[in-house]
Chains A and B, each alone.
Chain A
Amino acid sequence: MDLLNPYTLQVITFLFLNLVLAVSIYVTLSTGQLSLGHAGFMSIGAYTASIATKTYDMPILVALLLAIVVTGIVALIVGYPTLRLHGLYLAIATLGFGEVVRVIMLNLKVTNGALGLTGLKSLGTRLYDLEKVIGIDAQTFGITVTQMKALSTLIVMVILFVIILICQIRLDRSRVGRAFSAIKADETAARAMGINITYYKMLAYMIGSMMAGLSGGIYAHITTTITPDDFNYHRAVEILSFAVIGGSEVIIGPLFGATLLTGLPEFLRVLAEYKMLFYGSLLIAVMAFRPYGLITASTFDKWKNRKSRSTSGKGGV
């Protein structure tokens, strides 16, 4: 397989986009909140960024920042009342939020209704323009312009993902991260320990939503076309299943889930054709056999134990 094939490059770019989404759902889940509204936030981010670049001709960086800010504000407004809800109710309320966003996007004039926004200037083209300014050309590397564009997009995406991942790991190990896991383990106990539940749940919800908004903005500028139906209920379920199938206890879980769900249909063409059948069966099977997800905190414990046992065996009598 030609690695520099634009199609392959785009698939890998989408994989990294899904990895960012996986982190975003992981943050929200890390306080025990199940959200089906991430597609809605993604939609808001995508439309904000697209309108900013298309109608107001803003630079993409500003547009993406704007997407994050707008999604954050919406998350604040929506999150404050909904965070009082638990479990099933929260899931249904966020599901409702996503559907309301979709219907609004379908009907607004500025979003161009069901036809959506088309002809956005892609991230790759923008990057290539930038590269030409600083004197790098596709010919320098002996590849075509399309390849160069796809490659630049991928590199930016990888860098972005790594930054987000590092921030997330740092967050997990900080005071805030510990507060998140305390809330997830037992809300009442966490409150008794003096943790401000509303503040931390809101924080997790907002970080998750803003990340979804950012990936929405990037998604729009990779595909260059968005319609409200790109961010429907199925997208919400897809994002959620990254964490549910991979496991939401440790960060590796959702990342593994996203890689599995994005990668497998690419390698197995049969799966691509019946992608949704595969998704559905996988969800049922994983819930039946490993309800906490494929990768859990104890997966690594076992592995570490075995390793330490084998080393102690060697060093022992």
Chain B
Amino acid sequence: MFWQQIFNGLTVGSTYSLIALGYTLIFGVLRIINMAHGQIFIFGSLVGLGLAVNSGMPIWVAFPVSIIVSSVLGLGLEFTALRPLRKKNVPHLASLISTIGFAILIEELTHIFFGADSRPVPAVGTTVIHLGTVQMRAADLIIIGISLCLMIVLHYWIQRTKMGKALRATAENIETAGILGINTNAVIIMTVVIASGLGGIAGMLIGIAYSALIPTMGLTLGFKGLAALILGGVGSIPGAMVCGVIIGMSEVLAVAYGDSSYRDAVAFCMIIIILLIRPQGLFGRKA
């Protein structure tokens, strides 16, 4: 029973990690928490799902569609809410507010286009594999596999490639990076696109995990990613990966051994506690 819960937590948690990575990448480069992340990727995932289901194509088609739509929305965010605020001397919380504005906008559009009803996601990988007492759906393994692969690729890309180096330089100091000949605007655009695209994948994976997507999920899922971001230490990539899983597991355990109705409060209780004991997060460096 316990190991089963841990495994379920791992499945859910790995998708939270992907969401948290979206926040981390944008924060790393821009020092901004993108409050519209959840709403952006749930919109992308709903478009992808709708297209795949309506055209009768397999669910895998939904993934590229979801990635593209989310990325385009990410670009919209960059050009409307983030870039205008970079040019002027503005209070540092202004960009937080403008991303909240963008989030409200997308949430309302989601409501207009998709209503409030939950949409079923066609079942994939229904084969059950037994490992000791733990039952694993093939779908769960696919989710964990995809998440893990993405994280490894992302890590490799940031640490080893030239573009990753430019990203790290921009994160270190945007002005110096600009002086050294890095096209920082291009780096920022790339970051926002990758972050939103990762979200797009995470959204579809969550749809598969729960066999449904709910249009209002954007907000709650965004909060989970946000919690993982704070818990891991803002801007820390390994922190986001690990803490997403930690939050997923604690939620599942809280439901299994405690009260299921407090599920959504678990993540927030954890961040309030961590902010009080260790404000820099589990993996963060002291500022």
The residues of A with any CB-CB pair to B shorter than 8 Å are: 34, 81-82, 84-85, 87-89, 91-93, 95-97, 99-100, 103-104, 106-107, 233-234, 237, 240-241, 244, 274, 276-277, 279-284, 287-289, 291-292
Q: How many A-B residue pairs have CB under 8 A?
A: 116
Closest Cβ of chain B: how far from A251's Cβ, in Å?
18
Contacts A85-B275, A100-B272, A291-B85; A280 near B265 (Cβ below 8 A): no
- Given A280-B105, A291-B85, 6 more A-B residue pairs with CB atoms under 8 Å apart are A82-B276, A96-B268, A99-B264, A99-B265, A287-B101, A288-B84
Are A280's CB and B268's CB within 8 A?
A: no
Contacts A99-B265, A288-B84; A93 near B275 (Cβ below 8 A): yes
The residues of B with any CB-CB pair to A shorter than 8 Å are: 33, 80-81, 84-85, 88, 90-98, 100-109, 111, 219, 223, 226-227, 230, 234, 259, 261-262, 264-265, 268-269, 271-272, 275-276, 279
What is the bound-complex CA distance between A104 and B230, given in angstroms?
22
18 A–B contact pairs at CB < 8 A?
A82-B276, A84-B279, A85-B279, A89-B275, A92-B226, A100-B268, A103-B264, A244-B97, A276-B111, A277-B104, A277-B108, A284-B80, A284-B98, A284-B105, A287-B95, A288-B85, A291-B88, A291-B90
Are B265's CB and A34's CB within 8 A?
A: no
Are B262's CB and A287's CB within 8 A?
A: no
Are B91's CB and A103's CB within 8 A?
A: no
What is the bound-complex CA distance between A187 and B92, given in angstroms?
15
Are A100's CB and B33's CB within 8 A?
A: no
Are B272's CB and A96's CB within 8 A?
A: yes
Interface of A is mostly: helix
Nearest chain A residue, comparing its CB with the CB of B272: A96
Are A107's CB and B272's CB within 8 A?
A: no
- With a cutoff of 8 Å between Cβ atoms, the chain A residues found around residue B102 in the complex are 280, 284
Nearest chain B residue, comparing its CB with the CB of A287: B98
Nearest chain A residue, comparing its CB with the CB of B277: A81
- With a cutoff of 8 Å between Cβ atoms, the chain A residues found around residue B98 in the complex are 283-284, 287-288
Contacts A88-B33, A88-B93, A103-B262; A280 near B275 (Cβ below 8 A): no
Closest Cβ of chain A: how far from B120's Cβ, in Å?
24
Nearest chain A residue, comparing its CB with the CB of B103: A280
- With a cutoff of 8 Å between Cβ atoms, the chain B residues found around residue A82 in the complex are 272, 275-276
Are A92's CB and B91's CB within 8 A?
A: no
Are B226's CB and A276's CB within 8 A?
A: no
Closest Cβ of chain A: how far from B261's Cβ, in Å?
5
Closest Cβ of chain B: how far from A183's Cβ, in Å?
15
Are B33's CB and A279's CB within 8 A?
A: no
Are B91's CB and A291's CB within 8 A?
A: yes
Nearest chain B residue, comparing its CB with the CB of A88: B33
Are A283's CB and B104's CB within 8 A?
A: yes
Nearest chain B residue, comparing its CB with the CB of A237: B100
Nearest chain A residue, comparing its CB with the CB of B263: A103
Are B279's CB and A99's CB within 8 A?
A: no
Partner of A93, one of B96, B234, B261, B271: B271
What is the bound-complex CA distance between A99 and B262, given in angstroms?
11
Question: Which 10 residue pairs across A and B have the least CB separation, nearest first?
Answer: A283-B101, A280-B105, A280-B104, A96-B268, A287-B98, A288-B84, A103-B265, A291-B90, A284-B101, A276-B108
What is the bound-complex CA distance between A84 and B277, given in angstroms?
11
Closest Cβ of chain A: how far from B94's Cβ, in Å?
4
Contacts A89-B275, A244-B97, A284-B102; A100 near B80 (Cβ below 8 A): no
What is the bound-complex CA distance between A84 and B272, given in angstroms?
12
What is the bound-complex CA distance between A91 and B223, given in angstroms?
13
- With a cutoff of 8 Å between Cβ atoms, the chain B residues found around residue A34 in the complex are 93, 96
